[in-house]
Amino acid sequence: MPELPEVHTIAAALQQKIEGRRIDSVEILRDSVIKNPPEEFLLALQGRSIQGIERIAKYLLFRLDSGQMLAHLGMSGKFVLDENDHNDPYARVIFHLDNASRLIFAEIRCFGFLEYLKAGQASPRLQGLGPDALIQQDPETLKKRAQGRKTPIKNLLLDQHFLAGIGNIYAAEILFMAGIRPTRPTDKLGPKAWQGLSESIPAILNLALEHNGTTISDYRRVDEKKGEFQNFLKVYQRADQPCRVCKTPIKRIVQAARSSFYCPKCQR
């Protein structure tokens, strides 16, 4: 579910709401979402105070007074701050905070996870990530980073080692904005295409961020509100519907086992 704009929206809300809070106790309702041995995780987290929260690619890093907690929301994960003590059937881990509120990590599909890292311990998951996709890169820089790659450009955009933060929704929207067909081999892109990508990547992500991300089905903000960028999607999940620019029906194809959507007329 959550790509860069969604994770960023969540990080901003968490910064505002729980920075400085102390974790009184932790309940693990599903062991498999914890990367550490459960007892070790409980022991490490209980009594810690949350000093800061940052987004790294699609990950959330909670800086604690001792060590840190890395979180990934997988496909359907969310963090909900619950002041009303309601029950989420997909709650997997519950953090009881010192102001009597509860931070709930809920994840339907359990692809997401939490991992405690000791001070100074680096997670291998964060190694080799490309530059954050929100930061604009020069066309030349992009081209250089893509050197030697022959994979379709859509697949390259999903490669977190190329740029970090783009997922399936925004890859489609970025390529529509840049007028590039998702099947174009990376090594066949010309200067105009790289220029287009240099602009459309941060443009789409920032636009989505302004609208608090995209809610297709599961994504929710910390206060459980939906994002709004789904109302502005041009191609994603719009197969057979008319292109908003030229009325040509949007096509759906499968690349690397994932859906791609594009306008066969606007994207070449």
The residues annotated as belonging to the active site are: 2-3, 58, 258
Minimum distance, C-beta of residue 115 to DNA, in the bound complex (Å): 10
Alpha-carbon span 9 to 213, nearest angstrom: 7
β 91-97/102-107 pair status: antiparallel
Minimum distance, C-beta of residue 236 to DNA, in the bound complex (Å): 7
Minimum distance, C-beta of residue 4 to DNA, in the bound complex (Å): 8
If binding means CB under 7 A, how many residues of this protein chain bind DNA?
A: 47
Alpha-carbon span 10 to 103, nearest angstrom: 12
Query: Do the beta carbons of residue 67 and residue 121 sit within 8 Å?
Result: yes
Q: Which stretch binds DNA (CB under 7 A): 34-42, 60-68, 200-208, 252-260?
A: 252-260
The answer to the question of residue 5 lying near DNA (CB under 7 A) is no
Q: Which residues make Cβ contacts (< 8 Å) with residue 27, sequence separation at least 6?
A: 93, 94, 96
The answer to the question of residue 169 lying near DNA (CB under 7 A) is yes
The answer to the question of residue 108 lying near DNA (CB under 7 A) is yes
**What sign does the CA torsion over 78, 89, 109, 95 have?**
positive
Cβ neighbours of 36 (radius 10 Å): 17
The answer to the question of residue 111 lying near DNA (CB under 7 A) is yes
Binding positions for DNA, rule: CB under 7 A: 1-3, 6, 32, 57-58, 72, 74-76, 89-90, 108-111, 125, 148-152, 155-156, 158-160, 167-169, 186, 213-219, 227, 237, 254-259
